[in-house]
Structure 1
């Protein structure tokens, strides 16, 4: 029974009569569209195989680990960021259907039960879950890709308690964790999530994580070319050396501007300033230098961008081993700049899927939370791809020049048009919640069928129908094994 079932409240008046709201014990839900994600999960068996990795010590639990994990993951997708929300959601008929229970069955797990399961996860479980994420990523390609682009980045998670390994970080000026994610630019999936202690350097263990991912990719796709992109937080010798030892791996990694790199590019910057003053048009020029830092075992190529516009001057540098850098350094830098889209994936994971809600005391429980938030993100990414309206050759931006080679302004206009034409295919979590998930419904359960009734005036019914039709025809190319 819901704890809020007896609440009543009043909003205004209608023809001198009060408008009274009350919560009733009927099979009603505000998240009817969440069943689309449940159907996708049934086809992929992601939550099932993920949960098998948990060493559940309970001998005769009232709530299975699978039903608890599904509660939490689908709650995250629907925008319920706190475990406390499940003290009410445990009575929700849609969440019961997702947990493979009848709406008339007993309520699902409460917040303390969910928290206890999180705290049973062991270090061995988490290592297996890391492999699970990489395997699901490799299996996501229906055919062998010609190239795969891996982006790695971190974001901060401010802490407000006394959690294990929460430490003060001078750059962020706060006590925190750091969440690090390897993502794929081709399909937006989170390849490998991890959790660093608060004051850790962003590059801690990053090269080893990338090597694990690359080895698994190479085992499945021996001919694929792999690109790695990262910001200057990962510009350390061990990263370069690890990636250079790997076969068919190219990298573009940001590099901090130091006095020598500035001296090398001073002439180009002055030329750019003079051209801007003469024409009034923004200038964006590039330079390639051969550079060896004291801590490097060999020299490497650095592309330097010198940009001048009405807002001032801007210089950026990128370390790379891309063979085309000596021919087209600007193209190498632009390709590196495209990693900004991966930052949007991290922003979506942190802000829209609330991966910064790591309030358990134990570090391993919080890492398990990161895993569940990342799984929720990947379900959204996969359903987004299934429901996407494929572009046609007549669509603006699909001319003789590939989109990847266009100017940043052209790329932005193209993506804006795509989002307007196809709000689901490129939609963030908030768009999916508004257009698909958040629909009030009544669940009617009988021996023959389960009917989910929604309002005939709901404006986004065509979007939910489109998703249902896309899911009906979807067949995973390869099912995961237990």
Structure 2
């Protein structure tokens, strides 16, 4: 089971995301040498592997996503974390278990929650869900494990989490309070918030022909909240528009930073969209090749592990540009031409003489060997 898991993991890193790819790579000497096996699995073997997985195995895959991230954090000594929680959609086709229609995406599929660390780009956790579950349903329970894991790191940590209005719920705020995590969460506009914002701006009406942006704040307590919280507002007027103000509201536990600074921090959560895109397009997180929910969950979680391994690889060895996508890494380092020869028990890879990244590749291999010893 472990050998099959490792092979599937390496195939995902290399970009061979379909199970049928295993048939093409059964006799590959480099993959065999990497895995220390002379016999690689076939597509039917991969299918049997997924069928044998149990719920405990899925829990282990989620833990392994975190363990790779934790290794990266221990090596880097990172102590400040800005987390982005979000959801995404995985299309399903046919009568797949727990597939459901999502009105936001206008499609049938699954609707997983994910949480990333902004600085490292690492995936910290992922939870597969039916397609009709609301974006922020039980998000407080989802992030609780991540909060506990971060606090257990050997270095002292400070944590901020950002989320859109789908995560605006008192249970989510209270979970953050319990774990000492600060938050920035978008609020949906309503009539009461709008009146409070308009009242605050009554003495500075905008000029019709000029664009204007005003940052301000007030204390606000919705009926479902246990206490009043700080709400920051970005009020904008666009030149030549009849509407005086458009307001954006964010609730936060951060007390000292200016509203403009906090809005700048909040808007950077757009980076999570790029990380989700990399996870799906680069590793196949949204591939739902199996008929059962559990097997599709396993596929998604294994791609999450592969994604984190590449993020760790970039942290350790790709100092040139850690923002490199998996596509560029595959093109530059993984999918390269070479000739294989065998000498006794050694496998020797001869790179093409015109390989443009030969020096980079050689230096990288030296660093890998040094780390291994």
1:117 pairs with one of 49, 59, 62: 49
Secondary structure of the residue aligned to 1:196 is coil
1:174 pairs with one of 107, 121, 128: 107
Q: Residue 404 of structure 1 aligns with which residue?
A: none
- Say if 2:65 is the partner of 1:133: yes
- Aligned ranges 1:393-408 → 2 under 5 Å: none
Given that 2:208 and 2:240 are in contact with CA atoms closer than 8 Å, whether structure 1 keeps it comes out as no
Q: Report the more deviating stretch, 258-267 or 370-379.
A: 258-267
Q: Residue 297 of structure 1 aligns with which residue?
A: 226
Given that 1:202 and 1:234 are in contact with CA atoms closer than 8 Å, whether structure 2 keeps it comes out as yes
Q: Residue 6 of structure 2 aligns with which residue?
A: 70
Q: Report the more deviating stretch, 148-157 or 67-76.
A: 67-76
Q: Structure 1 residues 88, 291: CA separation in 2 closer, same or farther (over 3 Å shift)? A: same
Question: 2: distance between equivalents of 1:115 and 1:264?
Answer: 58
TM-score (norm 2): 0.90
- Say if 2:25 is the partner of 1:94: no
Q: Residue 21 of structure 2 aligns with which residue?
A: 85
**Which deviations, in whole Å up to 9, do the C-alpha atoms of 1:4-24 show, x marking residues without a partner?**
xxxxxxxxxxxxxxxxxxxxx
Secondary structure of the residue aligned to 1:188 is coil
Given that 1:168 and 1:199 are in contact with CA atoms closer than 8 Å, whether structure 2 keeps it comes out as yes
Q: Residue 25 of structure 1 aligns with which residue?
A: none
Q: CA deviation at 1:251?
A: 0.7
Q: CA deviation at 1:192?
A: 1.0
- Say if 2:339 is the partner of 1:442: yes
Secondary structure of the residue aligned to 2:159 is strand
Question: 1: distance between equivalents of 2:366 and 2:237?
Answer: 50
Q: CA deviation at 1:308?
A: 4.5
Secondary structure of the residue aligned to 2:161 is strand
User: What are the ranges of 5 or more consecutive residues in structure 1 without an aligned counterpart?
Assistant: 1-64, 390-421, 477-482
RMSD (CA atoms):
2.5
Q: CA deviation at 1:298?
A: 1.7
TM-score (norm 1): 0.71
1:452 pairs with one of 329, 339, 349: 349
Q: Residue 167 of structure 2 aligns with which residue?
A: 234
Q: Structure 1 residues 222, 448: CA separation in 2 closer, same or farther (over 3 Å shift)? A: closer
**Which deviations, in whole Å up to 9, do the C-alpha atoms of 1:215-271 show, x marking residues without a partner?**
22223347422111111111112111111122x311111111222222333467899
Q: Residue 464 of structure 1 aligns with which residue?
A: 361
Question: 2: distance between equivalents of 1:231 and 1:297?
Answer: 20
**Which deviations, in whole Å up to 9, do the C-alpha atoms of 1:436-458 show, x marking residues without a partner?**
11102222122152211121112
- Say if 2:214 is the partner of 1:288: no
Q: Structure 1 residues 162, 308: CA separation in 2 closer, same or farther (over 3 Å shift)? A: same
Given that 1:254 and 1:318 are in contact with CA atoms closer than 8 Å, whether structure 2 keeps it comes out as yes
Q: CA deviation at 1:121?
A: 1.3
Q: Residue 342 of structure 1 aligns with which residue?
A: 272
**Which deviations, in whole Å up to 9, do the C-alpha atoms of 1:141-186 show, x marking residues without a partner?**
2365442222211110011122211111111111111122111123
Question: 2: distance between equivalents of 1:229 and 1:433?
Answer: 31
1:204 pairs with one of 137, 140, 143: 137
Secondary structure of the residue aligned to 1:303 is strand
Secondary structure of the residue aligned to 2:235 is strand
Number of aligned residues? 369
- Aligned ranges 1:322-401 → 2 under 5 Å: 322-325=254-257, 328-389=258-319
